[in-house]
Structure formats: structure tokens, C-alpha cells
Structure 1
């Protein structure tokens, strides 16, 4: 090999090695000249507390900063309303400084039994309205526009149509509190137990159409949809004009994309092509352990997000 060609090959090999090391360093949360690993994703995936604790420690704010360095541009936090007010404000300030979005937090101020809106009982409705008022104050501190609402359980002593009517009327009253502030309640169909009133997106679609407000939408959690009925993409399309938020979790196991049976690359491409610009909540666990598990999670999202 000629000396000139040898030198060119050596320089290219050295540059590739340095770039590879820079990417690895950046994924590990260390300073790096190459920012490929931290490039923002095509969709706006929202991390939650504890997701990167092995790299960033137990402080959620430090985890948020680490996630930003890896390309994530949003968070969600089910337990936000239970945090001290000062901590809520600090999280909100951190998100504002980094230019990150806030996804959902769960409706505050309820008893352990949650909403029982299908009953139509006045005390349940009053408690629900009170929780919506509290949600407005939390949302202001963290610059959020999304609150998760679950209507509660079936009432076996009432016809299903009566229960649906009771839920719709209660939701209308809650929406009246949220709508002036531009806050959206997203109704989440769940698969956790058979007693839950709201289990499928088509039920949520029916409620949203009846309420008729931009402040009442569906939280489309693909983990729960897969467990309850499957048929994710057609169901998503049928209900799309009433979907206000998406959440992710593979099945079985409820971990990151690629650990179960759901083809998230196809799903992410589908909702991207539909023009969705909101947060996609990462409401799942991590299949691996320690730092290696967290790095595998990042790589899983890079793979599922590589649809362009």
C-alpha cells in the first residue's frame, strides 16, 4: 500500500473510532464532542421518574437533565400532584429552561377508591369536580395541559346505559372547570381488572363525542389496548380525532419497545405520519438491570424511532 493511501486509511479509521467512543460517552451521560446519541427523536417521548436513576441518581430533576442529553424532550409524571409544591415548581422551571414538554399527570385529590362516576351519586361527582379544580393549580406550576382521568368501576346494579349517562354528565361538569384554562382531561381505558368501567377506546370515543369539548379526549395506552382487544392500528384510526395522548408499553411484561409482541416501529411511524406532535408517554418498566438496562432502553427507542 502506498504511504499516502495508508495515511488516509489510518486517519479514517481513527476518526471512526473517536466518533464511536464519543457516542458511547454521550449515551453514558458524559460530555462528548459527537452529539449523535443525543439527537432529538422523531416523536416526543416522555420519560418518568426512576427511568434513569442508575445514571443520574434518585433526583428526578437530574434524571430529566440526563434524558435531555440522550435526546428525550418530554416527561410525564403520574404522581406529580402528590409532590411538594416547591418540587413541582422546580420541575416546571427545569422543563422550561431545557425546552422540554410535560405530558400527563394523574388527577389529584381523590381517595384511594378513585372516581366512581358510573354511580351518578352527588358526592362522587362533587369529589370529581374538586379534583379537577386541584388539577388546574398543579398544571399551572408545571406548565402542563394534560391530566389523566379514570372514571372508576362498573356498577353492577345499574343498566350500562344509565352508567354511561352518569359518566358523561360527570365528565361534562369536570370539563367546565378545565376548559377555561386550556387543560385537557384524557380518559384512559385500562386493562388492570374486569371491574373497570372504561376498558376500550371506542367507549372513550363515545364519551368524548357526547361531551363535545376539546378538553375531553382519550388517552390511548397501547399496552392496555393490546391486552384488552389488540387491533391497535385500526382502532387508533377509528378513534384518532378524539385521541389526545399516547402511552407506550410492550406486552407481555410492560417494558420498553422490542421486549414483547407489539411492533412499535410501525406504530410510531403510523402516528408520526398522522401528524401527531404531542408527547408519547413512556409508561413502562425496564427489562434490564442497572446502567446496562437503561442504555438498552435508549437503544430500543432509537431502533423503534428509526422509521424515517
Structure 2
């Protein structure tokens, strides 16, 4: 697309969304002259790669710089452990330069349903512990503190108490690896399948209390827990002392806030009232494709952060 056409189309989209034209000039005039956007957010929202690719291009470093230019103070990347060491290093350096905090990446133990810790199998536990050891080195490169863990599937042939015991023991061993480095695995209850072991906030709270380590806390994913249990603010309050991280996605659709039924402005107002200074990962898609959709995401966060 020619630059004149790009600016014309982007101006229309920006006007419709109430966003200043300075937002859309990122990386068009000069990468050495990024946007100077004074707007900041009350909370540390963390976009992911690909969310602003139509504005910033495909280069991960350009995308992170674009995020910073919009006022975002954090970044998360589930796939960080699968990326080249050289890119991990560049990401870490860029985040430090832009004064951004690295959010979660997923500890590599296989997919969400794979290598379940609930069955107590030595092979599965060893895969998990190996992932923890490798995650330490990745965390050093990107200056990360939090890593997502999904314990795997539910084992239907074992009593739930036995499964709880297996999961707690495996996580204690993982915490022993992470704790000396000041790292924290955050356990994520999911709504994707009834065959998953970890699905509720109270269950995750119990597991964290039993592991009894600063390196094992809750990732409270508001999208998933709206689907499985609702009562979001109440359950955040009940499990607050074990929550280390939040993730975001509206329901239905898992798109940006304001596109579904979740009252994110009230939820964020409550979280802010608790003096939360951690990260809220933007683990969702864009409801609209292209430049217009990316501007819509930025505008949505401006709206819900205005409490």
C-alpha cells in the first residue's frame, strides 16, 4: 500500500475510534523516530506479538517498540521458549531499553492436555522438571519472572485426592528449581475441555497453598474463569493472596474488552483498588482485522482503563 493511501485510510479509522492521528504514524516516517505518546495506563497491560503487526510490521522488535509507543508497559509471549536464543536476547534488550516488563511465557512440557502431572507418572514429571530447568535460562535472557504451567489432563481412573497429591508433589519439585532464581510458575485453570485437571480458581488456590512456595501462584485468566465459574470480582477477592498474574479476553469470542459480556472496567477498577502492580496479559484476538482492528484494541484499553 502506498504511504498516502495508508495515511488516508488510517486517518478515517482513527477518527471513527477517537484516536489521535499520531498513533498511526508509527514506523512510517523513520524507525529511529517513533511515536512520542504521552498517554499511559493505570495498569500494566501486556500485548503479544501479532496484535499490532499491520502498524508495526512483522519484525518482533518493531512490534514491541510500537507497543511501548502506545503506552503499554508490559509484554507477554507464550511461545518464548520456542524462539531462537538470538531473538530472546534481542527481546530482553529491547524491553529493558523501553522500560517494559516481561510477562509470562509457557513452560515447555507439551500441550495443555499432554504429560499430565495428575497421574504421577515419572516420565511426565521428568518432562515437566526439564521444562522448568530450561525455562530458567530463557527467563534470564528476557528478564522474566512468571511462567505459565498447565498441569495437564484429568485422570479418570484415579480418585481426585490422589491426583491432587501427585500434582502438588510435582509442583513442589518444580518450585525447588525456580525458587532460587526468584522465578514464579503461575498455574492456569482453563475452560477448554472438561478433561483438564485444573479448571477452577478455588481448586488452584488449594494447590498453591499446599505447594506452599512463592514460586507457585495463580494465573487468574478472566476469560476462562468467567466461563467456568463467573463471580469474577468475588473470586478474585477470595483467592487474592495467591494471585500473581491476570490474563484478559472478553466472552464470548476471546477478543478485546468491550466486545463481550464481561464488565472489564469494573474488574480493573477493583484490581487497581487492591494496589496491584503486576501484569494483565492481553491473551486475546482482535475483533476486527487490519489497521482498524488494531486501533480498536488500543481504544478499548483506553476506555476500560478510564475508571
TM (normalized to structure 1)? 0.89
Q: Which runs of 5+ in 2 are unaligned?
A: 1-14
SS in 2 for 1:136: helix
Quick one: which of 15, 22, 29 aligns to 1:26? 22
CA distance in 2, matches of 1:228, 1:282: 19
In the alignment of these two chains, the number of paired residues is 286
CA distance in 1, matches of 2:34, 2:158: 64
- 1:207 matches 2:207: yes
Q: Is 1:29–1:66's contact at 8 Å kept on the other side of the alignment?
A: no
CA distance in 2, matches of 1:108, 1:57: 28
CA distance in 2, matches of 1:92, 1:175: 23
Instruction: Give the drift of 1:86.
Output: 0.3
CA distance in 2, matches of 1:81, 1:40: 29
Which residue number corresponds to residue 5 of structure 2? none
- For residues 57-107 of structure 1, the C-alpha deviation after alignment (integer angstroms, 9 at most, x for no partner) is 111111111111111011000000000000000000000001000000000
Mapping of residues 32-111 of structure 1, within 5 Å: 38-108=38-108, 110=110
Mapping of residues 1-308 of structure 1, within 5 Å: 24-30=20-26, 38-108=38-108, 110=110, 114-307=114-307
Q: Is 1:61–1:94's contact at 8 Å kept on the other side of the alignment?
A: yes
- For residues 194-236 of structure 1, the C-alpha deviation after alignment (integer angstroms, 9 at most, x for no partner) is 1000001111100000011111000000000001111100011
CA distance in 2, matches of 1:199, 1:53: 32
Q: Which runs of 5+ in 1 are unaligned?
A: 1-19
CA distance in 2, matches of 1:256, 1:161: 37
Instruction: Give the drift of 1:109.
Output: 5.1
Instruction: Give the drift of 1:44.
Output: 0.4
Q: Is 2:168–2:207's contact at 8 Å kept on the other side of the alignment?
A: yes
Which residue number corresponds to residue 15 of structure 1? none
Instruction: Give the drift of 1:249.
Output: 0.1
Which residue number corresponds to residue 14 of structure 1? none
CA distance in 1, matches of 2:138, 2:40: 27
